[in-house]
């Protein structure tokens, strides 16, 4: 309700759209589309359930059929947003990316920036993913999506984001970093469980945007870091592989 020019697509994990929800949406006074998009029963029986895939696939199908321009973003019910995020992603030309707070053992998932370009990712679960990002960490141009009509999201838990972005034929050089060159957290993965503070063993010489981002998380009490801290050793992910976060070693400089 605070975001201008917003069309809300609500994908309902039910065989039929819940009329009670429709009534609530109408009270908000927002333009919206309510879609029935239940998960196929065979996926519900898997050990790792690909939650939300059928819903996002239904939303993508609706966008391809009904939109010609704009930007779409997968906002989940467990996210907390800074309103600045929505103004920043409006000018996305291809795919924009930005940090997501309270993710994994690093306390944040974020692109790593060098010279205004994304050169890798800071994420504690590489899993051979080219794009190890959270669902809340990127926005996509509708025009760009329409140029890739076969783009879709797989029913593969943990790899939904990566394989969707690959299906868009996205290149690292195409990514548009937001949130002040990925130094700010504008969206959080909201959690109500008690967890100890993340202790990160961080070398002195790291990419500047990552240093700035982590220092802000330290001030918020999310992590503590230092070269001598006894904790999780950090790394960056490039093409699915772990690399050290020191600028000199990653770029092969002498």
**Mean per-residue pLDDT over the chain, rounded:** 93
Average pLDDT over residues 113-125: 96
Residue 78 annotated as binding site: yes
**pTM of the prediction?**
0.93
Active site includes 161?
A: yes
Q: 23, 161, 204, 215: which one is catalytic?
A: 161
Distance between CA 188 and CA 152 in Å, rounded?
Answer: 25
Distance between CA 33 and CA 25 in Å, rounded?
Answer: 9
Task: Return the CA Rg of the chain.
Answer: 19
In the 3-class helix/strand/coil scheme, how is the chain assigned residue by residue? Answer: CCCCCCCEEEEECCCCCCHHHHHHHHHHCCCEEEEECCCCHHHHCCCCCCCCHHHHHHHHHHHHHHCCCCEEECCCCCEEECCHHHHHHCCCCCEEECCEECCHHHCEEEEEEECCEEEEEECCCCCCCCCCCCHHHEEEEHHHHHCCCCCCCCCCCCCHHHHHHHHCCCCHHHEEECHHHHCCCCEEECCCCCCCCEEEECCCCCCHHHHHHHHHHHHCCCEEEECCCCCEECCEEECCEEECCCHHHHCCCC
Instruction: Work out the widest C-alpha separation in the chain, in whole angstroms.
Output: 64
- pLDDT score of 251 more than 50: no
pLDDT, tens only, 16-57: 999 999 999 999 999 999 999 999 888 887 878 888 999 999
Q: Is 59 exposed, middle or buried (0-12, 13-18, 19+ CB in 10 A)?
A: buried
Residue 191 confidence (pLDDT): 81
- pLDDT score of 254 more than 50: no
CB count within 10 Å of CB 195 equals 9
CA distances, 207 to each of 21, 22, 58, 169 (Å):
45, 47, 38, 27
pLDDT, tens only, 212-241: 999 999 999 999 999 888 899 999 999 999
pLDDT, tens only, 151-203: 999 999 999 999 999 999 999 999 999 999 999 999 999 988 787 888 999 99
Residue 247 confidence (pLDDT): 66
Distance between CA 176 and CA 181 in Å, rounded?
Answer: 9
pLDDT, tens only, 61-102: 999 999 999 999 999 889 999 999 999 999 999 999 999 999
Average pLDDT over residues 107-126: 96
């Amino acid at each position: 309700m605070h975001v201008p020019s917003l069309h809300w697509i609500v994908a309902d994990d039910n065989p039929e759209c819940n009329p009670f929800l429709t009534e609530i949406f109408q009270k908000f006074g927002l333009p919206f589309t309510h879609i029935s998009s239940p998960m196929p029963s065979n996926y519900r029986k898997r050990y790792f359930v690909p939650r939300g895939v059928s819903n996002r696939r239904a939303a993508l199908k609706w966008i391809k059929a009904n939109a010609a321009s704009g930007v779409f973003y997968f906002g989940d019910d467990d996210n907390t947003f800074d309103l600045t995020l929505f103004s920043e992603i409006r000018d996305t030309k291809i795919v924009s990316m930005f940090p997501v707070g309270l993710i994994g053992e690093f306390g944040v998932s974020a692109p790593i920036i060098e010279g205004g370009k994304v050169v890798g990712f800071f994420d504690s679960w590489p899993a051979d993913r080219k794009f190890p990002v959270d669902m809340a960490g990127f926005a996509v141009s509708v025009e760009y999506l329409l140029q890739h009509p076969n783009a879709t999201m797989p029913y593969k838990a943990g790899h939904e984001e990566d394989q969707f972005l690959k299906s868009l034929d996205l290149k690292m050089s195409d990514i548009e970093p937001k949130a002040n060159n990925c130094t700010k957290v504008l969206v959080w993965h909201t959690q109500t469980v008690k967890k100890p503070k993340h202790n990160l063993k961080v070398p002195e010489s790291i990419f500047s945007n990552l240093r700035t981002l982590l220092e802000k998380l330290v001030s918020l009490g999310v992590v503590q870091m230092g070269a001598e801290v006894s904790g999780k050793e950090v790394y960056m992910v490039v093409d699915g592989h772990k690399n050290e976060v020191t600028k000199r070693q990653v770029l092969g400089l002498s």
